[in-house]
Structure 1
């Protein structure tokens, strides 16, 4: 095969991404170019076949189900209840609205399943209130987009489901592994926010700390939603249902809560919610299909093996290897959108982490954290664009404001990489060291 045939699909995809072509179309067109160049060796119908094979996994059934569950919860008043809980918990703190943003993102992590959806919701609700109450618009954009990263770690996360499918890793263990890093990220964001809020004299939302009775009432009001991650982990741990089946269980659970518990949704509202979930799921599934076809091109050209061989020649130490991979991912993350990078790079890196004896679950948490941090990194961060466009913040102003948050997240990323037990102790405790869920 000529050099043009070898490199044209990759170059074409990068050019399309640079021209701001949607990620799905960039990968699909690049993959199609590979099949067109090789029509003499394989039929063009293989392109459609490879795209279809990208969806042939039982584990992917969890994705549209959890998306549907999130859409139902958003339509049933759950966001308002959790926002009230966040205010009761941290409304007395300096920079209360910004702190509420992080707490709300943590509470919603098990519901929206999408960092992009979380960023949009936080920017529209808390972000606009922050600007109205004297917070800087760039600061509001940064905290709403940064807090949304928590959603990528706390179950059920779409990123964890997709990674589990690509890496053939236990999605149940991945869900459990994301909880502690997600909470650590929330604490790191709140500490950073506190320092900045004190410096800028951002005011509390409440005159005094909420009473124990008020806190208890707010917790009870939001208990239905807060119990969802517990339902997932307990059900999979005791074999009541698999992780994939848990998506269907959660859908039935939240529909019952929405209609008969909170009573803020009716059966006739369900078709509109279903349509929203179909649109959201379809966009992710189409990206997976395009990535499957592009992944066939990479495999055909043995790109993962070449990349793994190059990195393996640099060091044999697992921690040093993981830090080196992090460095590569950070550089790539500034140019490639996180979801695309996850789908493209996971198959490339799997042979390397297997050879270095790095746990797949641990690596998945590090990978998802790294690539989601890229969502707030200029120039192509998806979370950055969502919050900035909602709050009308120029990229230059956002880039200046995001620096302290990026620094803190990078430190946390190194800590997660060097100390795998931060990710692994909870799944090992719940499922055991050798269980596959």
Structure 2
């Protein structure tokens, strides 16, 4: 997505709210293979028998009826040329029964190594296989050649995972993810449309129009009410009017945490980026109730700084965290596209014309060239050919200012009123909620 975000993870049954009762979670796992050995022996043996798969460890803490495994799968760096070498991709498995559906889940970033179930997993009482995105976390080749970090290569990773694990889980499969994870799920379907029986993409931006990207500006100029938007503009102006004091606080924080700004260039530039992004991040993660917390023109500098840190996450722009997100910004700057924000009210206060460009967040020794055809291709496929796809969005989420528009091939777009980037099926109206659950049930029962 074009957002640089605190990742949203769909997780436990609590996130499913009142829908948790709809998930018929088995109380005991069924056999995966064979008939004589105990289940605890059979599933471990079955996993170890899969070619290229390594069982790293089994961890405790899973819901009753589930077992949680950390896995590593040997993947080609280039799926079109095995001579390019390989890397180990991190997977996690929440196993309950080979008789249940399986949910293919990704955050679009590094894997979450705790046994948390995505909402479809809860609703379906399903197994869950999580795939860490290539070049994130530990799923990195020894030598990083970012030219292999493409949506098609990542889709091929997912394709190999599905083909391998279908030998253990032959039932229905649903893919899912939120934000960048939702995008990755859509891209997987574009190139391998028959791998799964349906897809639930939460808060997934559709960054199709990067040449004249006014959708995000229009959204930020109209979301919420006028008073809240004016308050956000005032806070931005005050932050930049007090730039010297704000940067001094930022640099003091950096010294205390041994943090530098070599990737972005300076604390001054990082502060400007955070200020520019503040309204976007506010609506992405906040609600209209949070409008009352926006500092006014007479607020103290300490209050303004604390608010900016809370909303935009100032630690995100310093090297220790920014380093982890280089692959993300590389994807933005080569295929996924980025976004623009309103700046007319900040005339005379901005020092860095390139502040919002993905190139700002990627070291200069990493080549980047934007492919203008990648996202239009995805958009056309979703509109014309995408089948059994469900998009769940919040009306106040800035990240979906450009939403996917699905085809009429049993695909649907549902909006949760007032919800933000953390939207779930549970946030939908009762009618839409019933429709979403019905779709999942039908897709997994007919296969």
Same fold flag (TM > 0.5): no
TM-score by length of 1: 0.27
- Whichever structure has more helix as a proportion of its residues is 1
TM-score by length of 2: 0.27
